[in-house]
Amino acid sequence: MKIVRSKNDLIDSINELEYQGKRIGFVPTMGALHKGHLSLIEAAKKRNTTVIVSIFVNPTQFAPDEDFDSYPRREETDIEKLKLCNVDLVYIPSVKDIYPDGPQVEIKASDKGNILCGASRPGHFDGVLTVVNKLLKQTRASIAVFGEKDYQQLFLIREMVKEQNLDVEIIASPTIRESDGLAMSSRNSYLSPEERQIAPQIYKNLQQIAEGSSIEEAKLNLENIGFEVDYIEILNNKTLEPTDIAEENAIIFAAVTLGDTRLIDNLSKK
Ligand code: AMP
């Protein structure tokens, strides 16, 4: 596995791959890799691509009071995991490689970037779209894989790719969960043992809503055991407009805080 730490070295590697006629499958991450990330790599491999994974904790998607500094950084173990998955190249750029003029937002999300997580994290998706746009251009990927765990992000990336006329196919990959239902997340490592024990209640309550119980009841359930609920909403997965759970394409979104940890999840009512 090639380890590439600068934009210039990446350009050399991509030129070589393109010369060999390889199609590039790209999986962007912020590292602290878990089985959720690895499932995206498998999805890229299935499509017979040369797989590039990036590890970059993107400063422009964190607000000043968020966890940019404390975000888990586990480069050594990440590299070992990627080698075991037979990834072809890992790109670990510096901030300067991505933002030569200093970290700043260049892409604005549509108004769907202001709902759900965007309502409590203003500007977050502008930062996400800015870095994804840059990484897609730097890697010249034919396909890029994103997790449905971050459904709003996936939705906005699809919009951005269309808007910017990027020649890349965006692949959605399903959420990977712990055996007790908790969606895997790099931020789960922030949870205390007590918090980790109750964290699966997020998914439990999403399942109960899917089976007909009310959003209000779910909120109360979660608040009663120590969660602070940011939102629970049912939206149409094609439009992100409010809908009813009985409707086709309904998807239930939740964001909660447990102690100091913000967790998100969603469940499609198939
Ligand atoms: P992150 O490192 O958190 O920025 O995530 C990188 C990619 O992994 C994004 O496309 C996420 O949606 C995806 N991802 C994160 N957690 C999961 C999960 N539990 N299952 C599937 N994909 C995930």
H-helix or E-strand spanning residue 228: strand 227-236
Question: How much distance in Å is there from the Cα of 176 to the middle of ligand 1?
Answer: 9
- Percent of residues, the chain, with pLDDT higher than 90: 99
Question: How much distance in Å is there from the Cα of 266 to the middle of ligand 1?
Answer: 13
Tens digits of residue pLDDT in 173-183: 999 999 999 99
Tens digits of residue pLDDT in 37-61: 999 999 999 999 999 999 999 999 9
Question: How much distance in Å is there from the Cα of 19 to the middle of ligand 1?
Answer: 31
Q: How deeply is 78 buried, as exposed, middle or buried, from its count of CB atoms within 10 A (0-12, 13-18, 19+)?
A: buried
Average pLDDT over residues 22-38: 98
Average pLDDT over residues 90-112: 98
Taking 90 as the threshold, does the pLDDT of residue 270 lie above it?
A: no
Average pLDDT over residues 83-90: 98
Q: How confident is the model at residue 87 (pLDDT cuts 50, 70, 90)?
A: very high
Our answer to whether residue 124 is catalytic in this structure is no
Tens digits of residue pLDDT in 203-232: 999 999 999 999 999 999 999 999 999 999
Task: Specify the ligand 1 atom closest to the Cα of 184.
Answer: 19
Q: Is any atom of ligand 1 closer than 6 Å to the C-beta of 150?
A: yes
> Taking the CA of residue 156 as centre, how many other CA atoms within 13 Å lie in the half-sphere pointing to its CB?
27
Per-chain mean pLDDT for the chain: 98
Average pLDDT over residues 58-87: 98
Residue of 24, 25, 26, 37 with catalytic role: 37
H-helix or E-strand spanning residue 81: helix 75-84
Question: How much distance in Å is there from the Cα of 4 to the middle of ligand 1?
Answer: 21
Ligand 1 pocket test, candidate residues 27, 131, 149, 179, most atoms within 8 A of CB? 149
Q: Is any atom of ligand 1 closer than 6 Å to the C-beta of 61?
A: no
Taking 80 as the threshold, does the pLDDT of residue 269 lie above it?
A: no
